[in-house]
Amino acid sequence: MRIGVVLPMSGSDGPGRAPSWSEMRAFAIHAETIGLHSLWVYDHLLFRSPENPDEGIHEAWTVLSALAASTSRIELGQLVMCMSFRSPGVLAKMAVTADAISGGRVVLGLGAGWHDPEYTAFGFPTDHRVSRFEEALRILGPLLRGERVSFDGRYHQASDAVLLPAPERQVPVLIAGHGPRMLRLIARHADAWNTAWHGLPDEQLNQRMADLHAALEAEGRDPATVRRTVGLGWDLSRPERIGSGSADALAGALDSYEALGVDDVIVSLQPADEPGLERIHRALEIRDR
């Protein structure tokens, strides 16, 4: 089983502010140095709620592209890029370019979006998100395979679109979701699936994995061809809580996920800092005994 970590990017990830690029870069290099398999960014424009001040975040593709040039081994992915924020053709172009810069280390994580306040603030429509997502996949997927695409849908269009320079490889697509329509799209289009955020494995996770398996079987897809990734929220500051605590506790949680047949656990640390990375490193050492 592979272990990854989420990059700190937002106001709640830093010491009362969004981390600087130098801090994000140092975190990424540290994650690579201790042998983690993957590093993940997340895609929002802002977080807004009536109860709290607006929270800022760095733009995900810009950060991922900088990481592609700043690291050399670690896989780079997104949990997840919001399909609503970029046209599918442009998103495919961005993914292929970042993948080339990284030397073939990018996983294109995709989702339909959910946080209405950022949609409203930046002028994106909130209606029919899954339908828009489904149409976008019909443009993005063939482009990633190096095909020419013409498509005239209700929400998206393309006219003899092609990616040039051609993709150096087919960038793998990860889709996050657990509703029936999203699972059907995952079964048809995805190389990997993500569910998040979980603590210790529980009945909800078991049900989501069973639902994925059923969707794959319904589409005639070999379940072994889809990589299963799970986001694990781990709070280092609250050792008394489930999904938190010591390196020994984290090692035990990782063992539990591996026993379920999970391919990747992606840890979202709280606080998201380099001492937290060392806690993950210690958990890996415990598991290797």
Which tens digit of pLDDT belongs to each residue from 36-70?
999 999 999 999 999 999 999 999 999 999 999 99
The residues, ordered by sequence, that sit 6+ positions from 92 with a Cβ below 8 Å of its Cβ are 139, 140, 143, 144, 163
Alpha-carbon span 116 to 128, nearest angstrom: 13
Query: Which pLDDT belongs to residue 139?
Result: 98
* Dihedral pair phi/psi, residue 268, rounded to 5°: -105, 110
The predicted-structure confidence for 259-272, as pLDDT tens digits, reads as follows 999 999 999 998 89
The pLDDT of residue 208 is 98
Write the CB contacts of 49 (distance below 8 Å, at least 6 apart in sequence). 117
What is the mean predicted confidence (pLDDT) over 5-33? 94
Higher-scoring residue by pLDDT: 89, 248: 89
Given a cut of 60, whether residue 229 has pLDDT beyond it is yes
Domain extent, residue 166, equals 2-287
pLDDT of residue 237: 73
Confidence band (pLDDT; 50, 70, 90) for 243?
A: low
Contact call for residues 174 and 77 (beta carbons, < 8 A): yes
Q: pLDDT by residue (tens digit) across 158-197? A: 999 999 999 999 999 999 999 999 999 999 999 999 999 9
Domain count, the chain: 1
CATH code, domain with 92:
3.20.20.30
What global pTM score does this model have? 0.95
Give the separation between CA 180 and CA 169, rounded to whole angstroms. 30
pLDDT digit string, tens, across residues 119-167: 999 999 999 999 999 999 999 999 999 999 999 999 999 999 999 999 9
CA atoms lying within 13 Å on the CB side of residue 28: 27
